[in-house]
Structure 1
Amino acid sequence: MMLFFSSITATIVMTFFSYFYSEVKNEKFKEPQLINILINRLPNFSTAIGKHHILGWLLHFLIGFIFTALFFLIWKYISISWLSGIVLGFFAGLLGVLGWRIAFSVHPNPPEIQFSKFYIQLIVAHILFGLSCVAFLKIFQP
């Protein structure tokens, strides 16, 4: 249960940052919406979905769960600390950038966004993700 609730908390914090940053900078960096846009623009996808569709949210939280599970596995071998949260978040951000770059490059009609700015905010968002996992565990782990 700690894994599940930690992943939910960390994904919410990360997503809040992305939404806040998107609004302040007037950019399209909202990950669940970008996922939905990519899905909706697939040539063989028969059902049109809007950018606010639940599918993007479910996939976003699933990916957050996978990252959190990887963090928990790594934390069996290193200590759970603020530094490990930052480092793991940074590397998760690099994996996130790689994943998004692949998705955008192979997609026939990717959204038009400022990719370099998106990738930088994505790394910051993942560092916040890692720190949120640590904070959750420090508060709720017995």
Structure 2
Amino acid sequence: MKIFVFLLAWFMSVVAMSSFSTLMGHIFDSEFREEIILSKLISGNSFNQKDHSVYSILGWFIHFLVGGLFLYVYAIIWEWNLANLPLWETIVFGSVIGFLGIIGWSITFKIYHDPPKINFKGYYIQLFFAHIVFSLVAMIVFQWLR
């Protein structure tokens, strides 16, 4: 796999996922942006408090890092497949990483003594679909630039 294709898919997939989470947060009047929640966990600040830019950068960094790990696994699966990945497999992969994301966030929130006050049920539902968006965008970039 070409490094350029991987990097472009990585960037576009994480941005698409983050945009989806932002949109869902606005629709449901809740904070769903992963990078913001991460920055609040790191800083210990509430959503009413402004974070230092270092925490915001760390939130984005962690979000992109985890996205890159998921995408790396995805890229390996595609290399094994050696064919165009069908839409249904892309949605299945997005669903699997969506469930893994929910498990990861659940553990993260349990570890922190004072996690941010968010709509957890709504967050987990949108997180599941955000990972499908991530997967679909990755598939489009990989197949378009293959």
TM norm structure 1: 0.89
Structure 2 equivalent of residue 45 of structure 1: none
Q: 2:95 aligns with which of 90, 93, 99?
A: 90
Query: Are 1:110 and 2:109 counterparts?
Result: no
Q: Structure 1 runs of 4+ off > 2 angstroms?
A: 48-52, 76-79
Q: 2:38 aligns with which of 35, 57, 64?
A: 35
TM norm structure 2: 0.87
Contact 2:14/2:67, CA 8 A, preserved across alignment: yes
Q: RMSD across aligned C-alpha pairs, in angstroms?
A: 1.8
SS at match of 2:80: coil
Structure 1 equivalent of residue 69 of structure 2: 66
Structure 1 equivalent of residue 48 of structure 2: none
Paired amino acid for 1:135: I
User: What stretches of structure 2 of length at least 5 have no aligned partner?
Assistant: 46-50
Contact 1:34/1:51, CA 8 A, preserved across alignment: no
What per-residue deviation string (whole Å, max 9, x for no partner) do you get for residues 25-67 of structure 1?
110111000000000119xxxxx63697211111111111111
User: What stretches of structure 1 of length at least 5 have no aligned partner?
Assistant: 43-47
- Paired residues, what number? 136
% same residue: 30
Paired amino acid for 2:26: E
Structure 2 equivalent of residue 26 of structure 1: 29
